[in-house]
Amino acid sequence: NAGVTQTPKFRVLKTGQSMTLLCAQDMNHEYMYWYRQDPGMGLRLIHYSVGEGTTAKGEVPDGYNVSRLKKQNFLLGLESAAPSQTSVYFCASRHLAVGYNEQFFGPGTRLTVL
Amino acid sequence: DQQVKQNSPSLSVQEGRISILNCDYTNSMFDYFLWYKKYPAEGPTFLISISSIKDKNEDGRFTVFLNKSAKHLSLHIVPSQPGDSAVYFCAASRGSTSGTYKYIFGTGTRLKVLA
């Protein structure tokens, strides 16, 4: 089991460029999440999904879009990158059933927007 | 408005002693609390959790205490080991009627265990 994987690990973008971050999990989890981590801010939820074909906004969704076309994949898109989106992005997943509250995190993607 | 607060950005403890990490929350509707540990350049990993119906949960060297009236939880690590040096995040969740679970994270406390 690879758990939760994220692609790419690092990326540098210029302002206005677009990119997609890929998250994949092999644990058959229903719930998937995208967070960003910034110094002094902790982890903030961008978007999340409760199942294939569904997505919902988190705390800081502006400037991002997501898609969950397959249960195992959750994509995070930046249509027009801004320097304020420089951050470390973490994907996470968890089981649907009540009582399985633990989230499993990927290793992160470090994004720099110049 | 930060609903989950970790007011100590850092903490240093001698090896073998107790480490106590604190977390405060403001939303009384939170019903589940978790602690995660994060090493540099890695994703957070789950450490221990507690439901709002309990006031203590123990797992080996790690114990989480929940004081609902004070809206406060703490993580105790006894004895502390150098490998425990990491950033610790507390998180809180509230189940909604649709069954979706969102998590609010604190800003983290960097623990350094001195050998």
Of B41, B89, B107, the CB nearest to A40: B107
Q: Among A40-44, B17-21, B24-28, name the most confident range.
A: B17-21
User: CA-to-CA distance for A47 and A60, rounded, in angstroms?
Assistant: 8
Residue in A4, A41, A43, A100 to test binding to B, most B beta-carbons within 10 Å? A43
Q: A27: distance to nearest CA of chain B, Å?
A: 16
A107 touches chain B (CB under 8 A): yes
Of B93, B106, B107, the CB nearest to A101: B93
Pairing of strands A73-78, A19-25: antiparallel
| Cβ(B22)–Cβ(B7) below 8 Å | yes
pLDDT, position B112? 98
Domain formed by A4-96, architecture: Sandwich (2.60)
Angle at A95 between CA A92 and CA A96, to 5 degrees: 120
pLDDT, position B70? 97
Token match 């957070």: residue? B44
> Per-residue pLDDT tens for A71-91?
999 999 999 999 999 999 999
Per the structure block, which two tokens stand in for A53? 């074909």
How high does pLDDT run on average in chain A? Answer: 93
Query: Are the beta carbons of A42 and B89 separated by less than 8 Å?
Result: yes
pLDDT, position A62? 96
Residues of B within 8 A of A32 (CB-CB) are none
**Coil, helix or strand for B82?**
helix
Contacts of residues B58-61 at CB distance under 8 Å and 24 or more positions apart, as own/partner, are none
Name the DSSP letter for residue B42. Answer: S
User: CA-to-CA distance for A53 and A69, rounded, in angstroms?
Assistant: 5
User: CA-to-CA distance for B46 and B89, rounded, in angstroms?
Assistant: 10
User: CA-to-CA distance for B99 and B35, rounded, in angstroms?
Assistant: 21
Closest CA in chain B for residue A55: B100
Closest CA in chain B for residue A30: B100
Q: A44: distance to nearest CA of chain B, Å?
A: 7
* pLDDT reading at B97 higher than 50: no
Q: B80: distance to nearest CA of chain A, Å?
A: 23
Its CATH class, for the domain covering B4-95+103-114, is mainly beta
Neighbours of B55 (CB within 10 A): 13
Of B4, B9, B103, the CB nearest to A103: B103
For residues A97 and A52, the model is more confident at A52
Helix (H) or strand (E) holding B62: strand B62-67
Spell out the residues 6+ positions from residue B112 whose beta carbon is closer than 8 angstroms to its own: B10, B11, B12, B13, B85
* pLDDT reading at B68 higher than 90: yes
